[in-house]
């Protein structure tokens, strides 16, 4: 009646894979070569790496994919072990390729997120497969919340890991852009150095910096500082305790803004202070 001929729901481990810095790489490739074909080349590399890392072939390979996104993919696995093994094979293959790569532009690094839950599969009357379920969006959230060359899994996935395989996973909490706190576990496959050519954050003049700190210290009610932390996605583990004095919390917030991982003082927009 609604255009779907069949639907099926199953509990699976959803894996979201994303290439770090995809847009910048594509722009630089097209700028340096003057051809759009560079995009096709990098997309082909991504697709090959991901498909090879599944360890599957034929119908099993095709049925593992929920979507291929150009800069990554969303897959599903029936158990936690093959999901984790896929992530490990992918990171290891990329690390080996990077050792042979000539120049930063040729190097690839992926982020992987894994979440367990129900996924509904629907088949349209024209044979198209449609997928839905909170596990898909959660896998994407965990993938977005982790670092390059790392994998982040949700609590349910971690609980189903063999106890012998749990060492090495570190608990981490992320805050979504809507202020939702998600708890997961992260493991780094290899360390990715920050390029020395990275553009440094613009520093505010001392007078403007002092004025901003004064405004932050004068926020009423003090809970508005928590709103700023959520807006700027300050990592939960770095947020100062609500039990601390407001001025101490402001100091911690400013230190994070000015740190290498922070967005900079100039990221605080005037309209957020009213």
Domains in the chain: ranges and CATH: 4-188 (3.30.70.1230), 206-273 (no CATH)
Report the C-alpha gap between 260 and 176 in whole angstroms: 20
DSSP state of 273: G
Give the pLDDT of residue 145: 84
Cβ atoms within 10 A of the Cβ of 180, count? 10
3-state class (DSSP) for residue 180 = coil
pLDDT tens for the chain, 274 residues long, are: 455 567 889 999 999 999 998 887 887 777 777 666 667 888 999 999 999 999 999 999 999 999 998 899 999 999 999 999 999 999 999 999 999 987 777 899 999 999 999 999 988 777 788 899 999 999 999 998 888 999 999 999 999 999 999 999 999 887 665 667 788 999 999 988 755 444 455 678 888 999 999 999 999 899 899 999 988 888 877 888 888 899 989 998 998 888 877 888 988 988 888 7
DSSP state of 208: H
Report the C-alpha gap between 71 and 67 in whole angstroms: 11
CA angle, 270 then 243 then 246, to 5°:
35
Exposed e or buried b for every residue in 61-72, given b needs 16+ CB within 10 A? Answer: eeebbbebbebb
Contacts of 236 (CB under 8 A, 6+ apart): 173, 174, 175, 181
- Contact present, 89 and 55 (Cβ < 8 Å): yes
Give the pLDDT of residue 197: 41
Note the pTM of the prediction, 2 decimals.
0.70
- Contact present, 68 and 47 (Cβ < 8 Å): yes
Give the pLDDT of residue 1: 47
Q: Strand (E) positions, 146-234?
A: 150-154, 170-175, 181-188
- Contact present, 116 and 133 (Cβ < 8 Å): no
Report the C-alpha gap between 251 and 256 in whole angstroms: 9
Give the pLDDT of residue 216: 94
56 sits in the region (left: phi over 0; alpha: psi -120 to 50; else beta) called: beta
- Helix residue spans in the chain (DSSP H): 22-33, 37-54, 58-63, 80-100, 134-145, 155-159, 206-217, 224-231, 246-258
Pairing status of strand 150-154 against strand 110-124: parallel
Helix (H) or strand (E) holding 220: none
State the residue for tokens 């759009």.
36
Helix (H) or strand (E) holding 139: helix 134-145
Give the pLDDT of residue 198: 45
Sign of dihedral through CA atoms 39, 41, 42, 48? positive
Report the C-alpha gap between 111 and 106 in whole angstroms: 17
């Amino acid at each position: 009646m609604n255009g779907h001929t069949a639907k099926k729901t199953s509990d699976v481990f959803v894996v979201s894979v994303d290439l770090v810095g995809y847009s910048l790489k594509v722009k630089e490739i097209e700028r340096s070569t003057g051809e759009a074909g560079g995009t096709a080349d990098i997309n082909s590399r991504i697709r090959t790496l991901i498909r090879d890392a599944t360890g599957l072939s034929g119908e099993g390979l095709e049925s593992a994919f929920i979507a291929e996104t150009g800069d990554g993919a969303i897959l599903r696995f029936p158990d936690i072990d093959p999901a984790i093994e896929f992530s490990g094979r992918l990171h290891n293959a990329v690390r080996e390729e990077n050792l042979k790569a000539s120049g930063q532009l040729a190097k690839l690094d992926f982020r992987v997120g894994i979440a367990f839950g129900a996924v509904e599969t629907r088949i349209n009357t024209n044979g198209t497969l449609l997928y839905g379920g909170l596990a898909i969006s959660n896998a994407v959230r965990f993938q977005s919340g982790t670092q390059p060359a790392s994998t982040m899994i949700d609590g349910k996935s971690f609980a189903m890991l063999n106890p012998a395989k749990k060492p090495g996973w570190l608990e981490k909490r992320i805050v979504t852009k809507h202020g939702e706190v998600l708890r997961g576990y992260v493991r780094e496959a290899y360390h990715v150095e920050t390029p020395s050519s990275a553009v440094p954050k613009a520093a505010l003049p001392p007078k403007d910096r002092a004025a901003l700190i004064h405004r932050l210290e004068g926020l009423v009610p003090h809970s508005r500082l928590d709103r700023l932390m959520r807006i700027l996605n300050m990592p939960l583990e770095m947020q100062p305790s609500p039990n601390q004095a407001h001025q101490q919390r402001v100091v911690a917030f400013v230190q994070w803004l000015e740190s290498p991982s922070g967005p900079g003082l100039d990221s605080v927009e005037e309209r957020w202070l009213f």
